[in-house]
Structure 1
Amino acid sequence: MKKSLAKIPVAHAFCDECAGVIKERLIGIEGIHNVYANPMDSVIWFHFGSANELALVLNKLMEIGHPPLGDKIKKENYVPPLCQCAKVGSSAA
């Protein structure tokens, strides 16, 4: 089966450590391969084979608080981002 490449900019920043967790969660989805999470640009890249696999990834990103950039989230469906350490404007002590 031919694999397609997806590039998903996500709504919330994440750090290098959380990038590894995001990658683990997405690799756990059957049919998803070559996952790369870029914290500098808040972008997730991966290969998928079907629209269903792509939908599963988008759902998982929403579930862990990193929905695709531009998605409208209802207040009752909001999930805080997985990464709490890459907040914009926070300062390290």
Structure 2
Amino acid sequence: MKLDDNTIGQAVKVYKALGEPTRIRIIKILYRIDELNCNEIEDKACICAKSTLSHHMKQLADCGLIELRKDGIYHYYSLNREVLKNFVSLDWDD
């Protein structure tokens, strides 16, 4: 990967997003399960408030770590594995 200004900017956003334990839990959940809706993520990550989940999901989407698919009134999220692989070298299978 070429380390140009855009890549550096994205790296800063990715590392900032992963600076929060809840967001790391969300990434780990999405690593194991290809696609989930908000309610499923909320249950699996033990997040009580929808506004809190919304904030975390926005941070993860803004840096490109997750992708959103809308189906009617439902929003489904999946992990962008390419972005994760480019910036994070952790063993997510633990």
Q: Higher helix fraction: Structure 1 or Structure 2? A: 2
Asked if these proteins are the same fold (TM beyond 0.5), I'd say: no
Q: What is the TM-score normalised by the length of structure 2? A: 0.34
- Taking CA–CA contacts closer than 8 Å with sequence separation of 6 or more, which of the two structures ends up with the larger relative contact order? 1
